[in-house]
A and B are shown apart, each in its own frame.
Chain A
Amino acid sequence: MLPSNLVARRLVPFALPSLPSAPLPSPREAHLWCVKPDELKDASLLQEYMKILSPCEKENVLSVKGEVLQKCALLSRVLVRTTLARCLWIEGLSSGCLFHARLDTDYRINPRSFKFKKNRFGKPEVEWQHNDVSFLPSLQFNVSHTSSLIACGITVNDPIGIDVEEKQRRPNADVLSLASRYFSPPEVQYLKSLVDSDSQKIEFIKLWTLKEAYVKALGRGFSGAPFRKFTIRFETRGDLVSEKLKTGEFRIAVEPVSDHETLTANWQFALAEITGSHFAAICMGIDENDTGKEHDLLKLKVWKTLPYMEDECLSDSEAVIKISGLS
């Protein structure tokens, strides 16, 4: 099973160090944790990662064809499990529940301890155990991957959907044909209004990731929320003169095309460029009870990680460029 390009460097048994904790997202805030599969080069680390998975997950990873894809499948599960575990560690401690079965001897939540289920449309969710409900916050998560970046977005309580794509991705097919076939008419018009064909391709990819993030946030699957039935709009804030708008001042909103009971509009969007290489689109549910304040801009924090090995906070650095919808 060991991919041929990895080298087993260690001659002594390899044990994972402790998983550092991570902050819990604040209300109305999304955290994005990213892994670059190319940074996983150590075969013994890969073996340890496999031990974090459930038997079913292991079986599924091994059924994926090809080393690169297999590594991505593995990292995807490791990222979800470790991100959830590390965010909950401090919560578990502070709530005083020190003898909970899911805690390791050093009171950390064991990443292996999570169980997952699917909602009735098939969206993956944490299956909280009976004892969790009283003391653990309700973490919501969503995963997206490309062969070069895997991302896991988390919030507390708010439904979330994310999508990442390589900035350099160019569809093989003509983007206007693709848009005419799959996007809503206003979106097609928007793309047609762009004079430069490369801009058209880039904006297509951005729209694609935003639409994908919305569908995943809704949790109803591609066929439950057809792309053609909703429009993603970039809206300027009404009180600002257009020439004075800084990057990121646009609010991104979704508008269902017709009165569709499953396509709702109470969602907040953000688009960012990560490490100069990827677009990341985040869609977060707006609590309808949270009235009074206009929810223009989403709060986002980003980390790059190789679980157990290293973490790097990317927020407020050049590695995260806000494109739209971010405070």
Chain B
Amino acid sequence: MATLSAAFASWKPAASFINQTKGLTYRAKVASIGTSRLNFPSSRSSRLHIRCAAKPEIVNKVLEIVKRQLALSNETSLAPESKFSEIGADSLDTVEIVMCLEEEFSISIDEDNSQNINTIQDAADLIDQLVQQKTEVA
């Protein structure tokens, strides 16, 4: 099966490593002060994304779900920076992970949103954003 990044990006080859960009992704880190919250532009487009780094508990939950889906042992090093394409997740793993995340956080992740997810951190950041959007709407 194609790897996870075939689901999350426009296309990656089956071995999913040719021409992966190695550049740094700019990520704005924001400390929330009291109950104030900065509003970032809603990212419907697949271009520039500035996301608040997700809360650690979200990152940990994503790590837990990914580890469970891929049946990784506790000794396997899985970091927020880990790329899905490098940890052996195929497209069926991807959709199962996405479904788990949707159920866990009561959100909906469509194909447009998932275009830019390459790492665990990316997934956590998107979830954080979708959860925030949901609570803002409510």
Residues of A whose CB lies within 8 Å of any CB of B are: 56-57, 60-61, 63-66, 68-69, 72-73, 76-77, 116, 118, 121-124, 142-147, 163-165, 169, 171-173, 177-178, 181-182, 208-209, 212, 216, 219-224, 226
Is there a chain A Cβ closer than 8 Å to B19's Cβ? yes
Chain A residues positioned under 8 Å from B6 (CB to CB): 221-222
Is there a chain A Cβ closer than 8 Å to B131's Cβ? no
Most chain B CB within a 10 A radius of its CB, from A123, A164, A221: A221
Is there a chain A Cβ closer than 8 Å to B54's Cβ? no
**Interchain CB contact under 8 A, A221 and B11:** yes
Task: Please judge, given known A-B contacts A69-B86, A163-B1, whether A223 and B17 are in contact too, CB under 8 Å.
Answer: no
> Nearest CB to that of B76 among chain A residues?
A66
**Interchain CB contact under 8 A, A223 and B112:** yes
Chain A residues positioned under 8 Å from B13 (CB to CB): 118, 122-124, 143
Is there a chain A Cβ closer than 8 Å to B115's Cβ? yes
**Interchain CB contact under 8 A, B99 and A146:** no
**Interchain CB contact under 8 A, B15 and A77:** yes
Residues of B80-137 at the interface with A, using a CB-CB cut-off of 8 Å, are 82, 86-88, 90-92, 95-96, 99-100, 111-112, 114-115
CB distance from A168 to the nearest CB of B (A): 13
CB distance from A107 to the nearest CB of B (A): 29
Is there a chain A Cβ closer than 8 Å to B50's Cβ? no
Is there a chain A Cβ closer than 8 Å to B18's Cβ? yes
Is there a chain A Cβ closer than 8 Å to B10's Cβ? yes
**Interchain CB contact under 8 A, A124 and B82:** no
Q: Which of A73, A173, A177, A178 contacts B15 (CB 8 A)?
A: A73
Q: Give Cα A302–Cα B66 distance, bound, in whole angstroms.
A: 34
Task: Please judge, given known A-B contacts A118-B11, A177-B99, A181-B99, whether A222 and B91 are in contact too, CB under 8 Å.
Answer: yes
Q: Give Cα A178–Cα B100 distance, bound, in whole angstroms.
A: 10
**Interchain CB contact under 8 A, B1 and A165:** yes
CB distance from B136 to the nearest CB of A (A): 25
Size class of the contact patch on chain B: 35 or more
Chain B residues positioned under 8 Å from A223 (CB to CB): 7, 10, 111-112, 114-115
CB distance from A298 to the nearest CB of B (A): 20
Task: Please judge, given known A-B contacts A163-B1, A222-B7, whether A147 and B88 are in contact too, CB under 8 Å.
Answer: yes
Residues of B whose CB lies within 8 Å of any CB of A are: 1-2, 6-15, 17-20, 68-69, 76-77, 82, 86-88, 90-92, 95-96, 99-100, 111-112, 114-115
Most chain B CB within a 10 A radius of its CB, from A56, A65, A147, A208: A65
CB distance from A1 to the nearest CB of B (A): 15
CB distance from B94 to the nearest CB of A (A): 8
Chain B residues positioned under 8 Å from A221 (CB to CB): 6, 9-11
Q: Give Cα A212–Cα B3 distance, bound, in whole angstroms.
A: 11
Q: Give Cα A219–Cα B11 distance, bound, in whole angstroms.
A: 8
> Nearest CB to that of A161 among chain B residues?
B2
CB distance from A219 to the nearest CB of B (A): 7
7 contacting pairs across A/B (C-beta < 8 A): A65-B86, A69-B86, A73-B15, A145-B15, A181-B95, A221-B11, A222-B2
Chain B residues positioned under 8 Å from A144 (CB to CB): 1-2, 14
Chain A residues positioned under 8 Å from B68 (CB to CB): 172
CB distance from B65 to the nearest CB of A (A): 10
Chain A residues positioned under 8 Å from B11 (CB to CB): 118, 121-123, 219-222, 224
CB distance from B43 to the nearest CB of A (A): 15
CB distance from A153 to the nearest CB of B (A): 11
**Interchain CB contact under 8 A, B87 and A65:** yes
Q: Give Cα A76–Cα B18 distance, bound, in whole angstroms.
A: 12
8 nearest A-B residue pairs (beta carbon): A122-B11, A60-B17, A221-B11, A223-B111, A143-B14, A124-B13, A76-B15, A222-B7
**Interchain CB contact under 8 A, B86 and A56:** no
